[in-house]
Amino acid sequence: MSKRTASSNELQDNTSRVVQSKTALESIPSLADGDEDIEMNDGDIGEFEDPYGDDFESEGEIIEVDDEDNEDEDIVNEDFLEQKQQNAQEIVEQDRNQEQDQGKQLYLPHLSKPLGPDEVLEADPTVYEMLHNVNLPWSCMTLDIIPDLLGSERRNYPQSILMTTATQASKKKDNELLVLKMSQLTKTLVKEEEDENDEEEDNEDNDLDPIIENESISLKDTTNRIKISPFAAESPEVLAATMSENGEAYIYDLGPQVKAFTSPGYQIPKTAQKPLHSIRNHGNVEGYGLDWSPLIKTGSILTGDCSGRVYLTQRTASRWVTDKQPFTVGNNKSIEDIQWSRAEMTVFATCGVDGHIRIWDTRSKKHKPALSVMVSDTDVNVMSWNEKIGYLLASGDDSGTWGVWDLRQFSAQNTEKTTPVAQYNFHKAAITSISFNPLDESIIAVASEDNTVTLWDLSVEADDEEIKQQTAETAELQQIPPQLLFVHWQRDVKDVKWHRQIPGCLVSTGTDGLNIWKTISV
């Protein structure tokens, strides 16, 4: 988990206390009454002395008296100074311990106070197996991973990732679709002291500098969402779909851009800079809903807009065709997310601002939902269909609550009574992205506007003996759900995706750029 450092105000307060202690020490001599008495006695003796008397004896007597008094006073002053120095050292030590305690404070969105203007969060390098930050010219609100041919279950370092994202430039004409290849992504885990001498060969690889290669396509507008076809690795085509702010959806072939990374000297044709197909059925109505079918290899895509309409676009032998009649309930409420079923070729789900999850069948001639279930009193922003357990669907809403639903409990009779199989209100701001781990049906990633991405293991039971022991030993854990695995901090995080070929690896995007990370927890 991330750590909070001490604020500058606290450091200034601590410094002022230390300076005050030192000032007190400097003023100690002026507070000793004995020195003033000695000077006054010296003056009195000098005034009443016979100026013609024996100077040696007089001076000797004075010196002898002063020596005796000074020895006593020096002993008193030394003890006083020693005590003051000891007190000051204790204050300094207390301040140092307080700073260290604050520096190691865990940041939890549901418990910690908001960050101050001078506060920053630092990642704990001992809990990240890999953590790389990528700065981009403009912030991006969406991303997706491009499958490659380097194999699956990749656990050795350095790693390589292909991905795509789209910018949110201040001027619409400056927006771009970015295709990125990031290679030599080294292991960044900081080991404990006793393990520093292990795996010396790995340390050589960790000295490599990451390499970023980029190909771009100019866009006319801001992109709300981007999705890569799940069959991109099986064909020279790398189909990508985007949903734009201007209401249009575009389908691109990013194959030439990907080829340019592996073929030196390859010239990307000009036709590759333009979309294969544009979906204009939404008019000028902005949209966020977008998903490729994971079962139709020829290409089938759903797009949803803010007026509550969903259009189906399919690829024929010669062209792309969009149905003229949309799927809609006619309430003019925005469709926020769309998910195709991972098990049934004609079934998909939608969620929106009316708080409903709806299940649809593309074979329906009426283009109406088969089931509509109220799952939230506010906007439902995102969904994720479990790839290994086809009846589990996760959703997150505007209040920061997210849950997992058993679709077997959905029916026309209990549309207002369905309860989730798991639900958490850990986050304190809107959920912006949610994603089941494609390699582990019990692991899920959740991104929120509270600047965090959390990882959860739904297989953990609250009555587990190890969990009970950890909770008893650490007070903070008593207020944390036992299913929570990890909290990753990223400013204004908007999207998070798992990498299917690198177990446990995630890529997230926010206003501070891209984070590529893998924890020791997953």
Whose structure tokens read 């781990």? 437
Q: Which residue has the higher pLDDT, 89 or 469?
A: 89
Q: Please, what's the largest Cα pairwise distance for the chain?
A: 133
Q: Is the pLDDT of residue 298 over 50?
A: yes
Sign, CA dihedral 74-79-84-88, equals positive
What integer pLDDT is reported at residue 164 of this predicted model? 98
Find the range with the poorest average confidence among 4-13, 244-253, 335-344.
Answer: 4-13
Looking at residue 208, what is its pLDDT?
84
For residue 279, give Cα distances in angstroms to 173, 249, 274, 311.
20, 5, 14, 9
H or E stretch at 201: helix 200-206
Q: Tokens standing for 19?
A: 């300076």
**Secondary structure element (H or E) that encloses residue 41, with its range:** helix 33-48
Burial 131-166 (b: 16+ CB within 10 A, else e): bbebebebbbbbbbbbbbeeeeeeeebebbbbbbbb
Residue 58's pLDDT is 43
Closest CA to 509 of 50, 99, 163: 163
Amino acid at 257: Q
Average pLDDT over residues 6-32: 38
Banded model confidence at residue 370, pLDDT cuts 50, 70, 90: very high
Rounded Cα gap, residues 223 and 288, in angstroms: 9
Share of the chain above pLDDT 90, in %: 64
C-alpha 250 chain-centroid distance: 29
pLDDT tens figures, 416-434: 768 999 999 999 999 999 9
- Structure-model confidence comparison of residues 197 and 153, the more confident one: 153
pLDDT 10s digits, 341-365: 999 999 999 999 999 999 999 999 9
Instruction: Order across the sheet with 320-322: list the strands.
Output: 287-292, 300-305, 310-315, 320-322
Instruction: Note the pLDDT of residue 54.
Output: 47
At residue 24 the predicted structure's pLDDT band, cuts being 50, 70 and 90, is very low
In the predicted model, is pLDDT for residue 127 greater than 50?
Answer: yes
For residue 100, pLDDT over 70 is answered with no
CB atoms within 10 A of CB 498: 22
Mean pLDDT of 128-151: 95
CB atoms within 10 A of CB 408: 8
**Within 10 A of 474 (CB to CB), how many other CB atoms are there?**
11
pLDDT-derived band at 120, boundaries 50, 70, 90:
confident
264 has a pLDDT exceeding 60: yes
> What was the pLDDT predicted at 16?
38
pLDDT value, residue 39: 41
Q: Give the pLDDT band (50/70/90) at residue 476.
A: low
pLDDT at 111: 72
Instruction: Enumerate the β-bridge partners of residue 431.
Output: 448
The yes-or-no verdict on residue 78 having pLDDT over 80 is: no
Q: Assess contact for 505 and 159: CB atoms under 8 A.
A: yes
pLDDT of 186: 95
pTM, whole model, 2 decimals? 0.78
**Mean pLDDT rounded to a whole number for the chain:** 83
> Between 468 and 236, whose confidence is greater?
236
Six-digit token string for 323: 């149905």
* Strand order across the 443-448 sheet: 431-436, 443-448, 452-457, 484-489
Percent with pLDDT over 70 in the chain? 76
Provide the CB-side half-sphere exposure for 262 (13 A, CA): 10
Position 105 pLDDT exceeds 70: no
Give the pLDDT mean for 462-474.
66
Domains and CATH numbers, the chain: 119-191+206-519 (2.130.10.10)
Query: Which amino acid, one-letter code, is at 63?
Result: I
The predicted pLDDT at position 415 comes to: 73
Place of tokens 């001076």: 59
Residue 292's alpha-carbon distances to 3, 144, 240, 300, 358, in angstroms, are 38, 12, 9, 6, 18
Q: Categorize the per-residue pLDDT at 197 as very low, low, confident or very high, splitting at 50, 70 and 90.
A: low
pLDDT band at 306 (very low <50, low <70, confident <90, very high): very high
The pLDDT of residue 329 is 94
Rg, Å, the chain Cα set: 34
Which pLDDT does position 33 carry in this prediction?
A: 42
Query: What pLDDT is attached to residue 326?
Result: 97
DSSP conformational letter for 111: T
Give 275-331 as a DSSP string. -SEEE-TTTT--EEEEEE-SS-TT-EEEEEETTS-EEEEEE-SS-EEE-SSPB--SS
> Alpha carbon 17 to chain centroid distance?
36
Pair 511, 142: CB distance under 8 Å:
no
User: Which range has the worst mean pLDDT, 69-73, 84-88, 313-317, 456-460?
Assistant: 69-73
